[in-house]
Structure 1
Amino acid sequence: MNNKLPAVLLLSVFVVATCGLIYELIAGTLASYLLGDSVTQFSTIIGVYLFSMGIGSWLSKYFEKNILSWFIQIEILVGIVGGISSTLLFLLFESIASFRVLLYGLVSLTGILVGLEIPLLMRILQNRFEFKDLVSKVFTFDYIGALLASLIFPLVLIPYLGLVKTAYLFGILNVSVALLVCVNFKKEIPAVNYLQSASIISILGLLLGFVYAEKITNFSESLSYNDTIIYSKSTSYQRIILTKRGKVLRLFLNGNLQFSSDDEYRYHEALVHPGLQALPRARKVLIMGGGDGLAVREILKYPNVEQITLVDLDKGMTSLFQKNEMLLSLNKKSLLSKKVKVINADAFTWARQQKDTFDFIVVDFPDPSNYSVGKLYTNSFYSIIKELLNPDGIMVVQSTSPFVAPKSFWTVNKTLESVGLHTVPYHNYVPSFGEWGYIMAMKKSFYKKPNSFISNLKFVSKESMDQMLYFPKDMAKRETEVNKLNNQVLVKYFEDEWASVL
């Protein structure tokens, strides 16, 4: 056997480990994008993938002859299956009823093939190293490859390549391992010309997919949206889609509608004005979330406000709403105002480090559909925000639908009360979302409904405020638990309640 074989195959361990974890991350991310941004998706994908790898490892004992040849064939198959997986899932999401069968079928197949790789490599190398050295070297390269994948996936691959291109790229790398072994060890491999040709054809096919990945992505996403997609980008945190029909713009994050330009004013006026109108001396405002600048637009209608700090995790989001002409028209260039300071940071971490206080705080995070967002609805987070609120200040929290998800809504209310805040729940109707809820919170129970509102509003008025403060029986208060970091009951409530209408 050629003396170069150990070095080449140890390099192969590194490559296949990196590719294997990338496929797993792609599947989990795709499941979150397409089926809902939920910890359940990632958890079940990882579980199925690891179980399938175990099946692959068990099956490896039945490969007894021509191990190098089998290894090459498996690399080609892994590259093809892994490379086209995201394309298949995107294209077929809207067209087949049993999408989860396809998803978990691809995850299982990929996991089984990946599970075969390392055992076969160890058997190929078993006569070249002592057992302890073999195990040490193989698993060292395996774990280093896994570490590299976990770092570059969110920081480099998703923001700059996207899911489809990333899948094709690592498919190419997998098949390139097969080709590398073919080229270097022709004498040791039966039917090497056939395998070499298969590797080259597979690489060319995957390369073609890589080149046309953007068109594939645009076409597949167009099947999922009724309107024309005019902007799409994957950031380190989410998939941003902007659609247009006539004059109406709609923003989607990970497939979930965030606003529609024809009625977003109802949401944002209700979010801001009931609280800020009651604070005639408000000077300093904090907005957490709200990277679209639409809440900022409403706050800038008050000349007494001197400083607005906006904290949003995703720079890709805030940059879009600072540069896109259509969006600048919608948010009235609010994020470019000299009064506004935009900070791209994790809200929880940022808030813990602050000593400044604010007269009015807007908490406008996405719905608590997963634990990473759910932590921003916990008593721990609200305790931190409470310290940032001036004694006579008001905080308002968007709190999902009290009609569709009453337990979720009233959990937010109870969690705010649990940290010693006085609350004023209210709601309004937004056509794109239905009945939507908000909760004002303050250190003192002083809130009085304003007698009048500023004149340039389309929806909020003294009369509409009367309706917003009234809760009929089907939205009446429910008994719930406090949402804590160690239980995150709100995520469970939210998933259960919204699952019944989706």
Structure 2
Amino acid sequence: MEILLLLSVFVIATCGLIYELVAGTLASYLLGDSVTQFSTIIGAYLFSMGIGAYLSRFFRKHLLSWFIQLEILVGLIGGISSALLFLLFEQAASFRIILYLLVGLTGVLVGLELPLLMNILKGRYVFRDLVSRVFTFDYIGALLASIVFPLLLVPYLGLIRTSCCFGMLNVVVAMLLCIKFRQEIKWARYLQIKSVAVILLLTGIFAWANKIMSFSEGLAYRDPVIFSHSSPYQRIVLTRSRTDLRLYLNGNLQFSSRDEYRYHEALVHPVMRYAPGHAHVLILGGGDGMAAREILKYRDVEQVTLVDLDPAMTRLFRENALLTKLNSNSLNSPKLKVINADAFQWLRQNHTRYDIAIVDFPDPGNFAVGKLYTTAFYRQLRHSLYNSSVMVIQATSPLVAPKAFWCVDATLYAAGYHTLPYHTYVPSFGEWGYVMASPEMLVPCRPWLPAGLRYFAPAVFPQMCMFTADMDKRKVQANHLNNQVLVQYFEDEWGKYQE
């Protein structure tokens, strides 16, 4: 009996942490700002466990029966949670309330289980040995969950199937206990039937996980979803209408094929005019290959190094026929080298210098991305540039988020760069901003541009450098690694815009 019950401790810890990680990951996919979502969900979960531990004092009889009942309930609620949340995201007016109710309920049930189990075992061990054994299995289970979740479960099973698998694991333990101790358990037959029913339900959800996900994403996006994939880093979704192809990362639009050329021409061609040399170009981010497409239009470009965190992203834009047509097969060019790595860490290891750097990261909507807009990052990037090198940073909307935009400019200045901010209009996004920067003064070097551009021209650029009063310079702080003030500016301004 002792071994089976201690195995239950291991399962409780593993499954409990998995449900917590699933909720945090799902919230970061749907609501953004992974640091805030994980922080609040972990806090809510631990608080709920404390409530569960307190409530355990009221369970005095039939402890094993109650423990099995709780295992089944945890398996049911934890197992269906991710499917339910995906389905309700676009339908429920108070999605956050539902999310935290599920997290709280799961936490209360898990918090009840451990004290009940310790009470069941207390007559079989000396108290010192009991605490030692229970917490040893608990911590080992937590370690296992934290390792397998990002490395195996999310990439290979996805969130819905991960929840189902661990829900079934909870219920299987409950079933084994029912069978092993059926003579000692009240309602043994009822609990066995209930266990089978929950396993069948979770098996059905597991089998239909892709269809559930497709249905929920069909509700979230206006056009049909033609591709979706959860990588360890993000949720990648492609939608397609008759005239438009759109990429979404964690629910946020990254480009529309109707007007992405305006964004990417404005990102690349000004910096190519201002840079004295074109031979070696560094792209940080830009895993869709669109910026690389524009760079490769210059014959004097000898080598392009593209550093993007997510191999799933670069693989998709290397292999999908629709996307290789859109990026002119740039990621398969012999001139281009793809490196899948964290840009911050990669720069610390890099000893090559580049004539041009294109910094095309997602918006700084959370601290994980915000670190790539800090003085520390820009100073690190300086070691990969010559004094004459020029770089450009996409810097969100100066109309919607002027403080965030000018914070990027102020951060580059604080890191020792000369800057030239500018903006353009992209219909899918509205007014969009960029900041060009160099260790030396910025002076245009080349009047000519490659043939075939649809938007950018030298005569357009002076207008792009003009800012009306509603976009004009604001007094802001620089973004440092220890304060990440840019993330706060970004959240405040975009939050008000989306209300």
Quickly name the TM-score band, shorter chain normalised: over 0.9
Unaligned runs of at least 5 residues, structure 1: none
Amino acid at match of 1:459: Y
Which residue in 2 is equivalent to 1:326?
322
Q: What CA distance in whole angstroms lies between the structure 2 residues aligned with 1:249 and 1:450?
A: 34
1:267 paired residue number: 263
- The Cα of 1:449 is off from its aligned counterpart by 7.7
Matches for 1:440-479 after TM superposition, within 5 Å: 440-448=436-444, 451-479=447-475
How many Å apart are 1:123 and its aligned residue? 0.8
For 2:138, the equivalent position in structure 1 comes to 142
1:283 corresponds to 2:279: yes
Q: 1:302 & 1:448 partners in 2: Cα distance?
A: 16
Q: Which residue in the other structure is 1:200 paired with?
A: 196
1:120 match: 116
CA distance in 2, matches of 1:437, 1:126: 64
For 2:303 and 2:448, the matched residues in 1 are separated by 24
Deviation at 1:463, TM superposition (A): 2.4
Deviation at 1:455, TM superposition (A): 2.5
**Alpha-carbon RMSD:** 1.1
Q: Find the counterpart in structure 1 of residue 61 from structure 2.
A: 65
Contact 1:274 1:450 in 2 (8 A): no
1:29 Cα offset (Å) = 1.2
Q: Secondary structure at the match of 1:187?
A: coil
Instruction: Find the aligned partners of 2:272 and 2:332 in 1 and give their Cα distance.
Output: 21
> Which amino acid in the other structure matches residue 100 of structure 1?
R
CA contact (8 A) 1:293 1:321 kept: yes
Q: Aligned residues, how many?
A: 498
- Is 2:235–2:249's contact at 8 Å kept on the other side of the alignment? yes
2:30 aligned partner, one-letter code: L
Q: How does 1:112-191 map to 2 (within 5 A)?
A: 112-191=108-187
TM-score by length of 2: 0.98
Aligned to 2:297: 301
TM-aligned CA deviation for residue 274 of structure 1: 0.2
User: 1:106 corresponds to which residue?
Assistant: 102
Matching residue of 1:93: 89
TM-score (norm 1): 0.98
Alpha-carbon distance in structure 2 between the residues aligned to 1:57 and 1:249: 51
Question: Partner residue of 1:240?
Answer: 236
Q: Show structure 2 runs of 5+ residues with no match.
A: none
**Which position in structure 1 is the counterpart of 2:35?**
39
**Deviation at 1:31?**
1.2
Aligned equivalents of 2:275 and 2:322: distance in 1?
32
Q: Secondary structure at the match of 1:393?
A: strand
Q: Does the 8 A contact of 1:400 with 1:438 survive in 2?
A: yes
Q: What is the CA distance between 1:452 and its match in structure 2?
A: 4.3
Moved over 6 A (4+): none
Report the AA paired with residue 52 of structure 2. Answer: G
Question: Secondary structure, in 3 states, of the residue corresponding to 2:255?
Answer: strand
Residue matched to 1:52:
48
Contact 2:419/2:442 (8 A) holds in 1: no
Any idea what SS the aligned residue of 2:454 has?
A: coil
Q: Deviations over 1:293-349 (max 9, x none)?
A: 000000000010000000000000000001000001000110000000000011111
Mapped partners of 1:91, 1:283: distance in 2: 50
The residue type paired with residue 496 of structure 2 is S
CA contact (8 A) 1:453 1:460 kept: no
- Asked if 2 retains the 8 angstrom alpha-carbon contact of 1:286 and 1:310, the reply is yes
**Aligned partner of 2:25: which letter?**
T
Shift of the alpha carbon at 1:280? 5.3
1:425 matched to 2:421? The reply is yes
The equivalent position to 2:403 in structure 1, one of 403, 407, 420, is 407
SS in 1 for 2:459: helix
**Residue pairs, 1:382-397, within 5 angstroms:** 382-397=378-393
Instruction: Name the counterpart of 1:350.
Output: 346
1:365 aligned partner: 361
* Cα distance in 1, alignment partners of residues 306 and 113 from structure 2: 48
Q: Structure 2: how far apart are the matches of 1:463 and 1:144?
A: 64
- The structural deviation recorded for 1:85 is 0.8
Separation in 2, partners of 1:434, 1:25: 35
Q: Distance in 1 between matches of 2:220 and 2:138?
A: 37
Report the secondary structure of 2:183's partner residue. Answer: helix
Q: Tell me the SS of whatever aligns to 1:448.
A: coil
Q: CA shift at 1:158, angstroms?
A: 0.7
Provide the rounded CA distance (Å) in 1 between the counterparts of 2:482 and 2:277: 38
Letter in 2 for 1:312: D
- Structure 1 CA distance for aligned equivalents of residues 76 and 41 of structure 2: 20
- Residue 387 of structure 2 aligns to a residue in which SS? strand
Q: Does the CA-based 8 Å contact 2:276-2:445 persist in structure 1?
A: no
Kindly provide the amino acid, as one letter, of the partner of residue 497 in structure 1.
E
Give 2:24's aligned amino acid.
G
2:248 is matched with 252
Query: 2:354–2:385: 8 Å Cα contact kept in structure 1?
Result: yes
Equivalent position amino acid for 2:453 in 1: L
Which residue number in structure 2 is paired with residue 231 of structure 1?
227
- Measure the CA separation in 1 of the matches of 2:56 and 2:84: 27
Task: Give a deviation string over 1:5-57, Cα, whole Å, max 9, x none.
Answer: 11001111111101001111111111111122342222111111111111001
Q: Secondary structure at the match of 1:243?
A: strand
Contact conserved, 1:86 with 1:164, CA < 8 A, in 2?
A: yes
| Aligned amino acid, residue 200 of structure 1 | V
SS of residue matched to 1:455:
coil
Q: Which stretch has the larger CA shift, 452-461 or 175-184? A: 452-461
